Structure 1
Amino acid sequence: MPVMLREAWATLVPDVTDRHGPLPPLMLALTVVTGLVDAVSYLQLGRVFVANMTGNVVFSGFAFAGAPGFSLAASLVALAAFAAGALLGGLVVHRTRTHRGRNLQYALLAETVFVAAAVIVTQVSGSPYTGGVRFTLIVLLALGLGVQNSAARALAVPDLTTTVLTLTITGIAADSHLTGGTGNKAGRRVISACAMLLGAVAGATAVLHGHPTLPLLLAFAILAVASAAATAPARTDAPWTRPLTEK
């Protein structure tokens, strides 16, 4: 089996004795969630991201310059809500800093609550999502993704940040054999990019074919399953649960 495929398989079905234990497939699930929710936010909430804050900073610049179709208010609200979610995630991280399994489980539960609330809003309001409903959805989803990012940052599973692919894609190219590099971790990096692409394709397809709530329902289902899957890891004292600073 080619090295890249072995690395991808090891990410999907990791060795539980590895330094990151069962975390990689759970991080991939969160990467799919990112694609789903950003498809909803960009296509239905008016050119705004709830996970990709780099995009919102750029969109704010476009809005300042007077480019049509960009909402400064939406971008700023998303940025503020994401920061608040990251703050909440930081509190979770510091409360569970000695156990990476609990860190992930608590973050997953919090994000699941925010996404579930967003699903309820979509069911009650119906589409299109405008006015207060639009901003409520931006806030709820950005809060959830802020929590997710805090957890991903603390868990620090290499190349599985769940939302940012710029450095991941850079690594695929810069470390490839074409540059004289080792190609190390290319399989993990490629599968991470594919996970986000899968979520984005699924989310956009649902939206464009008249199923506006389906992406958030799928995101909720993935988070619920991931939360359940994180229960056992949260109770173990295996070596991978220790903070990365510990040996």
Structure 2
Amino acid sequence: MSAGAAVAGWMFPEGHRYARTAPLLLVLTFVSGLVDAVSFLGLGRVFVANMTGNVVFLGFALSGAPQLSALASVVALAGFLAGAVVGGAWRRDDEPARLFAPLVAVQGLLVAVASAAQWAGWGRYAVLVPLACGMGLQNAVVHRLGVPDFTTTVMTRTLTALAADRPGPAAVRRGVSVVALAAGALAGGLLYAGTGVRGVLVVVLVLLVAVALAARRRPGAGVGSSDAAP
């Protein structure tokens, strides 16, 4: 039994069509923490993954709160939505599992563009826009997969369900998701302190390439399915 199948069986004893994507979705959750850490700490108090936070920041900025930019929040929101639109429309009738690897690869390309912009000193918006577009794309493909409790970015509902529902396999999934996001944010903060924006983006790019390759290595049934239906 492969490691992915073992994790899928542990987290989804009830079965799910895309259960074997769980380890890869956890890596993407970690990536979300990394990216939000670098955007908040290095790009001017703005998020590129947590859009709930950006909406709140926008309100704060419009009220005149210091160190917050309404323009940065709007740009991040617009970039995220653009990526989500593309991810939702891309070959809409195809099996979501077959799109997982190529869409994550495109996200990696966007992170590479952001990294190049940072190296070239083109300014924060040249870095912010491709990062936000990439996170919108990530959220769209995760939404299409529909794996329970693995949103990779939004934790408010996950934490609510973790506290309100009975213990069980779903609680394990939710707990692991929260830990993965927090670990990514912690790692992102530490990396940023030591290497700056560029160092964090290199790590993000490496992780996205690894996820895309792992998904591509077992296309269709290999990564995207389980013996049980949703």
Normalising by structure 1, we get a TM-score of 0.83
Alignment CA distance shift 1:93-1:200 (3 Å): farther
The question of 1:14 aligning with 2:8 is answered: yes
Could you list the per-position Cα deviations for residues 91-132 of structure 1 after superposition, in whole angstroms to 9, with x for gaps in the alignment? 225152xx222121121111011011112222222xxxxxx5
Same amino acid, percent of matched pairs: 40
In structure 1, give the amino acid aligned to 2:217: A
The question of 1:157 aligning with 2:147 is answered: yes
CA distance in 1: counterparts of 2:210 and 2:81, whole angstroms: 26
The question of 1:187 aligning with 2:180 is answered: no
Q: Gaps (5+ residues) in structure 1?
A: 1-8, 126-131, 176-180
CA distance in 2: counterparts of 1:69 and 1:12, whole angstroms: 46
In structure 2, give the amino acid aligned to 1:32: F
The Cα of 1:182 is off from its aligned counterpart by 4.1
CA distance in 2: counterparts of 1:239 and 1:143, whole angstroms: 24
Alignment CA distance shift 1:211-1:159 (3 Å): same
The question of 1:90 aligning with 2:75 is answered: no
Contact 2:16 / 2:147 at 8 angstroms: preserved in 1? Answer: no
Query: Structure 2 matches for 1:141-152, cutoff 5 A?
Result: 141-152=131-142
> Paired residue for 1:112, among 105, 108, 115?
108
Alignment CA distance shift 1:55-1:239 (3 Å): closer
Contact 2:4 / 2:20 at 8 angstroms: preserved in 1? Answer: no
Could you list the per-position Cα deviations for residues 166-223 of structure 1 after superposition, in whole angstroms to 9, with x for gaps in the alignment? 1111111101xxxxx3444111111101111111111101112343322111111110
In structure 1, give the amino acid aligned to 2:129: V
Could you list the per-position Cα deviations for residues 119-150 of structure 1 after superposition, in whole angstroms to 9, with x for gaps in the alignment? 2222222xxxxxx5101111010000000010
In structure 2, give the amino acid aligned to 1:192: S
Could you list the per-position Cα deviations for residues 204-247 of structure 1 after superposition, in whole angstroms to 9, with x for gaps in the alignment? 011123433221111111100000001133244898289x9x87
Mean CA deviation greater in 11-20 or 199-208: 11-20
Contact 1:89 / 1:148 at 8 angstroms: preserved in 2? Answer: yes
Alignment CA distance shift 1:71-1:51 (3 Å): same
Query: Structure 2 matches for 1:1-247, cutoff 5 A?
Result: 13-15=7-9, 18-92=16-90, 94-96=92-94, 99-125=95-121, 133-175=123-165, 181-236=166-221, 240=225
Number of corresponding residues: 224
Which entry has the higher C-alpha Rg, 1 or 2? 1
Runs of 4+ in 1 over 6 A off after TM superposition: 9-12
Contact 1:37 / 1:203 at 8 angstroms: preserved in 2? Answer: yes
CA distance in 1: counterparts of 2:93 and 2:169, whole angstroms: 34
- Alpha-carbon RMSD: 2.6
